Amino acid sequence: MVADSILFLLALPFFLLAVWGLLFNAPTVAVVAFTAAWILFPLFNRIKAVRVLKFAVSFVLVPATLALAPLMIQEVDQKVEQLSRKPRNDTSAFTLQDRVGIYGLNIVMGVVGYPLYPEASKETMLMVFDPGPFARRVFYSDFGLGSYKVRASLRDFAAGLQQGEASTSSCTYGPVSIEWNRSDYRLTEPEARYALALNQTTLTATAERRGERWLIDVRDEMEVKYPQSIYVTLVGRPRLRVEEGLFWVLQNCGWLHPYTAEYRFLVYSDDPRLN
């Protein structure tokens, strides 16, 4: 009974993905997702022939998914392009099916991208929920130090502290604006993880003397929201572009909720990552 419940919970996301594939005119996505849901769904598993069939299909599903991936990406790209031709100032031009499909695309991007881009995926999926009266979410993470742009912004400040330029026990830095180019959004670019999560961030820092060292309290702040019109290329070949203006439509309809994200972390001025 417990095993059946676990299998049902595992099958449910694939079933929802299959429904989204049908709504978004991505039939290949729907077929692959439905097949995965059928394999996991515990119905008729007590029949030996059904178990054998599911076991056999499961071996084919993974290579088939990899082989069909370009076609699935193409289907999604074509649907995005089709929806992008609609006038976004007139939300009535988007049917309920269109809106549900775009809403699902936002979730699919968040789930699929999570293994490689957890911060951007989390920001995306949290837009589904109302952020509250202050529309602000705080994340405690120093992942931004992996970006050369963030490190470069802090390097001079940290170097000045190390050289004894500060005459007081505390010192502030910023605000400094940091931006990434749209080309940095490509999933193969080294800055993609940071561009997707932190673009158009405002960096501020406060340093306090701790003995012979300086402890820097860093804050990266940015608006998590979709613009009215901007194409972002996520994959070059096969091409997968996303028109963020489609999600802007959902913002106007109250289906997605913008908010201010703040990443906070502490780092010492002599941290080797700042060198």
Residues 160-218: pLDDT tens digits?
777 765 567 788 887 999 998 878 877 778 898 999 899 889 999 999 988 778 899 99
DSSP state for residue 256 in the 8-state scheme:
S
Strand extents, DSSP E, the chain: 136-140, 170-178, 201-210, 213-224, 231-235, 240-243, 259-268
Span 58-71, pLDDT tens digits: 889 989 999 998 89
Q: Is 233 helix (H, G, I), strand (E, B) or coil?
A: strand
What are the b/e assignments for 16-38, b being 16+ CB within 10 Å?
ebbbbbbbbbbebbbbbbbbbbb
Instruction: Confirm if 72 and 27 have CB atoms less than 8 A apart.
Output: no
pTM of the model: 0.84
Q: How far apart are the C-alpha atoms of 137 and 187, rounded to whole Å? A: 25
Which DSSP string do the residues of 138-180 spell out, in sequence order? EEE--GGGGSHHHHHHHHHHHHHHHTT---SSEEEEEEEEE--
Name residue 150's amino acid: V
Instruction: Confirm if 120 and 113 have CB atoms less than 8 A apart.
Output: yes
